[in-house]
């Protein structure tokens, strides 16, 4: 097992993910972890993540000094490299050329990290994101690769088995990054790489049992991949101590409610409460136009309804949620962390402080495709695990401006046609997520001999591997015109269709 000490980078969990992909068990802990705890965890090696701070600032984070006395291999990435260097007697300076994004390094030597991956003399592509850089190496270190902006792009202390990279090997934009990490974990730390999703399942079940004991758990089931996997995992761990609550907020896709109820009640034998709360949600959302207020309102109501249902079934001690890692990282500042709030995901940022139930979040460290793999491991049908993600706030964040039942009904019609055509064209599994957005814009059109003055809608489809970045799906124009035709002809009230071609970043996947 490997320990990852987190210094607050947006991509720390990608390190964990790359390690899991190569069959290595790891845990991510804050850099403030005590030496005692680290020693008790007995890792085979430690990785220092990147982070937003600057080593040149007085109060910036440092790794516990004790880790340098444990005789373990250490890999420092970006900020992690800089603190490693600074703590071992090197010098880091700010204010030099900043490098962000794609960069090239020249491999000037060999070391155990580059073995079999990067050859001496090669020029290799990497992904950089830094402002500061090391100017004087600590004793015992040598340079293995350099770039224009970072003469110490990869450094090594072979004797102590300490390594540092200025670039991020954990992101896919560093083409051989995973192989470099594997050299660290397998070659240098001696991990065997036999950890699997089956092992994760067994560990997750054990962790749930340890946390919950004989307590009762309710789980908000939305029918999406995440909450469905949580429900089945919890059911496997604690059986009828689990009750699932499906809240219909009136902002689901067409036909979704029936499907959820029959699947989980009949097929999985899970205790399920179906609550139609559409009046409550739509009532409270009336007139709300600010996206963050919408998200927070929905988050608050979800919890209120859960608490009500929990009282009805005689109380529960825990609330289980399908929070994934990208949900956590993109709203960490809402919970006091150093990153910037992009959106308050309703299952993270919207939780009221006085919530009376404790949380069970078994997927908190995973990315979507890992959750899908876990679902398959649990024997769940492809129709559920292969589903496109659907956000907790539902259609509310696909209706810019105020949300009404009529608008939701209109959007459901558009969405159904779009998804129907995507399935018919055999494209569903090639797309990460596809959906329609109802625009708060009316435009002039002509139908038959008459003038129309109706609403416009946007279609969105993206490819992604984890939802943190996304690219537009390149439909054939003939497909788009076919869908647009059907929508304008079949949905009264819509007379214009646009296709959103924005990637993430700078856009986000959802419109709000």
- For the beta carbon of residue 114, count every other beta carbon within 10 angstroms: 23
CA distances from 78 to 38, 75, 274 (A): 22, 10, 48
Q: CB nearer to ligand XMP: give 373 or 395.
A: 395
- Alpha-carbon distance of 355 to 344, in angstroms, equals 17
Which of 87, 119, 91, 97 is CA-nearest to residue 106? Answer: 119
Q: What is the 8-class DSSP label of residue 352?
A: -
Q: Is 227 labeled as ligand-binding?
A: yes
Q: Which residues bind ligand XMP (CB under 6 A)?
A: 295, 330, 343, 345-347, 389, 391-393, 433, 467, 504, 508-510
What is the smallest separation between the CB atom of 508 and ligand XMP, expressed in angstroms? Answer: 3
- For the beta carbon of residue 78, count every other beta carbon within 10 angstroms: 26
| Whether residue 346 lies in the annotated active site | no
| Whether residue 168 lies in the annotated active site | yes
- Alpha-carbon distance of 217 to 264, in angstroms, equals 16
Q: What share of the chain is helix, strand, coil (3-state, %, to 5)?
A: 35, 25, 40
What is the smallest separation between the CB atom of 119 and ligand XMP, expressed in angstroms? Answer: 38
Q: CB nearer to ligand XMP: give 152 or 264.
A: 264
CA distances from 138 to 19, 87, 143, 393 (A): 28, 9, 11, 51
What is the smallest separation between the CB atom of 510 and ligand XMP, expressed in angstroms? Answer: 3
Q: Is 223 labeled as ligand-binding?
A: yes
Would you say 433 and 461 are in contact if contact means Cβ atoms under 8 Å apart? yes
Which of 358, 264, 245 is CA-nearest to residue 305? Answer: 245
| Residue among 130, 168, 346, 388 flagged as catalytic | 168
- Alpha-carbon distance of 226 to 223, in angstroms, equals 8
| SS3 state at 142 | strand
| Residue among 99, 124, 146, 170 flagged as catalytic | 170
Q: Is 225 labeled as ligand-binding?
A: yes
Would you say 457 and 401 are in contact if contact means Cβ atoms under 8 Å apart? no
| SS3 state at 275 | strand
| Residue among 78, 111, 189, 191 flagged as catalytic | 78
Q: Is 228 labeled as ligand-binding?
A: yes
What is the smallest separation between the CB atom of 209 and ligand XMP, expressed in angstroms? Answer: 25
What is the smallest separation between the CB atom of 312 and ligand XMP, expressed in angstroms? Answer: 25
What is the smallest separation between the CB atom of 389 and ligand XMP, expressed in angstroms? Answer: 4
Which of 300, 298, 302 is CA-nearest to residue 285? Answer: 298
Q: CB nearer to ligand XMP: give 274 or 387.
A: 387
At a CB cut-off of 8 Å and minimum separation 6, what does 463 contact? 430, 431, 432, 470, 471, 472, 473
At a CB cut-off of 8 Å and minimum separation 6, what does 351 contact? 299, 303
- Alpha-carbon distance of 384 to 391, in angstroms, equals 15
| Whether residue 78 lies in the annotated active site | yes
What is the smallest separation between the CB atom of 335 and ligand XMP, expressed in angstroms? Answer: 14
Annotated binding site: 222-228
- Active site amino acids: 78, 168, 170
Residues making up the annotated binding site for ATP are 222-228
């Amino acid at each position: 097992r490997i320990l990852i000490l987190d210094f607050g980078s947006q991509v720390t969990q990608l390190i964990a993910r790359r390690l899991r992909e190569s069959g290595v068990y790891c845990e991510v802990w804050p850099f403030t972890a005590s030496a005692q705890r680290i020693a008790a965890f007995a890792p085979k090696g430690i990785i220092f993540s990147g982070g937003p701070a600057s080593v040149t600032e007085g109060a910036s984070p440092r790794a516990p000094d004790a880790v340098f006395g444990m005789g373990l291999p250490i890999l420092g990435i970006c900020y992690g490299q800089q603190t490693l260097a600074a703590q071992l007697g090197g010098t880091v300076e700010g204010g030099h050329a900043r490098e962000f994004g794609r960069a090239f390094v020249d491999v000037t030597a060999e070391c155990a990290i580059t073995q079999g991956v990067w050859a001496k003399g090669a020029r290799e592509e990497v992904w950089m994101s830094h402002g500061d850089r090391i100017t004087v190496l600590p004793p015992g270190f040598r340079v293995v690769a350099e770039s224009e902006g970072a003469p110490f792009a990869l450094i090594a202390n072979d004797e102590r088995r300490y390594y540092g990279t200025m670039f991020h090997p954990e992101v896919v934009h560093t083409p051989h990054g995973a192989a470099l990490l594997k050299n660290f974990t397998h070659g240098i730390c001696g991990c065997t790489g036999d950890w699997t999703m089956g092992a994760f399942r067994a560990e997750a079940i054990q962790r749930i049992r340890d946390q919950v004991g004989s307590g009762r758990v309710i789980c908000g089931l939305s029918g999406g991949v995440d909450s469905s996997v949580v429900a089945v995992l919890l059911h496997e761990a604690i059986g009828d101590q689990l009750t699932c609550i499906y809240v219909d907020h009136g902002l689901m896709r067409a036909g979704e409610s029936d499907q959820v109820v029959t699947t989980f009640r009949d097929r999985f034998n899970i205790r399920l409460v179906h609550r139609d709360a559409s009046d409550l949600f739509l009532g409270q959302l009336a007139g709300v136009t600010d996206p963050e207020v919408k998200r927070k309102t929905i988050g608050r109501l979800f919890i209120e309804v859960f608490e009500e249902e929990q009282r009805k079934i005689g109380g529960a001690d825990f609330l289980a949620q399908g929070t994934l890692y990208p949900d956590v990282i993109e709203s960490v500042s809402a919970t006091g962390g150093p990153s910037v709030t992009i959106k308050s995901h309703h299952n993270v940022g919207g939780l009221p402080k006085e919530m009376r139930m404790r949380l069970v979040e078994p997927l908190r460290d995973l990315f979507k495709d890992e959750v899908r793999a876990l679902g398959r491991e649990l024997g769940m049908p492809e129709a559920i695990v292969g589903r496109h993600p659907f956000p907790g706030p539902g259609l509310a964040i696909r209706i810019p401006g105020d949300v009404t039942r009529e608008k939701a009904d209109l959007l459901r019609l558009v969405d159904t046609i779009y998804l129907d055509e995507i399935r018919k064209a055999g494209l569903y599994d090639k797309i990460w997520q596809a959906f329609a957005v109802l625009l708060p814009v009316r435009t002039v059109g002509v139908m038959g001999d008459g003038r129309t003055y109706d609403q416009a809608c946007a279609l969105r489809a993206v490819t992604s591997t984890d939802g943190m970045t996304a690219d537009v799906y390149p439909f054939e124009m003939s497909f788009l015109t076919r869908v647009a035709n059907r929508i304008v002809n079949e949905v009264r009230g819509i007379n214009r269709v646009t296709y959103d071609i924005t990637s993430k970043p700078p856009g986000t996947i959802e419109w709000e």
